[in-house]
């Protein structure tokens, strides 16, 4: 019998920031496999969108362009939510594995978000200047060039408020944490960036835009490793998409 069991023990306070795990510490190993992630990506980016497009063909005569775009984006969101629900019931709580748990003070994540946003913005500006100096700068190719202002507004709303959260959970959360089981941290960041690049196939005709996507994906992945959280990546991704949407709407007007 422990003679000290009757002595009340004070609760230990939360460790200060200096005692928390260092930057780049290994994330929790997720219970799912690379096969599960591959099936999820195939379903969310290929099979379900194809099925949704076929369903939309049946109701297209009754919808204008804005409603069609809204339905398309909403079906994409619902498809991924159903995949996340399946993973939740199949493997239990998965927030710690994808970097959604906040284990540090909020000020830390705010500062890391500012740093990541400034670094990615500086890299993109520097890349554009490099293309200009090399004489390779081309005209900006705006997506949905023939779309109406209402369609562009719907697209911008989804791009700013849905895409950053969804893509960071998918790529820096599911994909990168899975690659971390197989490769080194830097290689897992690189492999995730390649997957991120491949699934942005609408930029394959524009090498400059493709290089920007690669830089963004690599930086978001590095900060996922640095902070063990996808929150800075989500906020920096949101800022990038918001800026691109403003440019898109400005050109359209």
Confidence class for position 136, pLDDT limits 50, 70, 90:
low
Has residue 18 got a pLDDT over 50?
no
**Residue % of the chain over a pLDDT of 90:** 35
**Integer-rounded Cα radius of gyration of the chain:** 21
What is the per-residue pLDDT for 146?
64
If one compares 100 and 59, the residue with the highest pLDDT of the two is 100
Burial class (CB in 10 A: 0-12, 13-18, 19+), 19: exposed
Q: Is the dihedral of CA 59, 62, 65, 68 positive or negative?
A: negative
**Residue % of the chain over a pLDDT of 70:** 81
Question: Mean pLDDT of all residues in the chain?
Answer: 81
Q: pTM of the predicted model, to two decimals?
A: 0.83
Confidence class for position 163, pLDDT limits 50, 70, 90:
very high
Integer distance in angstroms from the first to the last C-alpha of the chain? 79
Cα–Cα nearest to 26, from 109, 103, 97: 97
Cα–Cα nearest to 124, from 239, 250, 35: 239
- DSSP three-state, residue 184: coil
What is the per-residue pLDDT for 204?
64
Has residue 91 got a pLDDT over 50?
yes
Mean pLDDT of 111-138: 87
What is the per-residue pLDDT for 144?
61
């Amino acid at each position: 019998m422990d003679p000290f069991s009757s002595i009340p023990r004070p609760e230990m306070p939360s460790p200060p920031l200096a005692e928390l795990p260092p930057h780049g510490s290994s994330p929790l190993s997720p219970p799912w496999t690379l096969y599960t992630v591959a099936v999820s990506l195939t379903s969310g980016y290929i099979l379900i969108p194809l099925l949704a497009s076929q369903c939309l063909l049946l109701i297209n005569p009754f919808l204008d362009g804005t409603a069609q775009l809204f339905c398309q984006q909403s079906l994409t969101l619902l498809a991924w939510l159903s995949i996340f629900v399946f993973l939740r019931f199949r493997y239990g709580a998965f927030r710690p594995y994808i970097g959604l748990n906040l284990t540090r003070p909020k000020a830390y994540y705010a500062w890391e978000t500012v740093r990541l946003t400034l670094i990615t913005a500086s890299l993109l500006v520097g890349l554009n200047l490099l293309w200009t100096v090399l004489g390779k700068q081309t005209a900006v190719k705006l997506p949905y060039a023939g779309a109406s202002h209402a369609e562009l507004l719907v697209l911008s709303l989804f791009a700013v408020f849905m895409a950053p959260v969804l893509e960071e959970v998918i790529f820096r959360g599911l994909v990168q944490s899975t690659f971390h089981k197989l490769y080194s941290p830097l290689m897992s960041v690189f492999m995730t960036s390649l997957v991120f690049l491949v699934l942005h196939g609408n930029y394959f005709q524009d090498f400059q835009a493709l290089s920007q996507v690669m830089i963004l994906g690599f930086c978001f992945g590095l900060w996922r490793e640095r902070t063990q959280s996808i929150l800075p990546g989500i906020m920096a991704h949101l800022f990038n998409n918001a800026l691109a949407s403003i440019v898109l709407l400005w050109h359209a007007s």
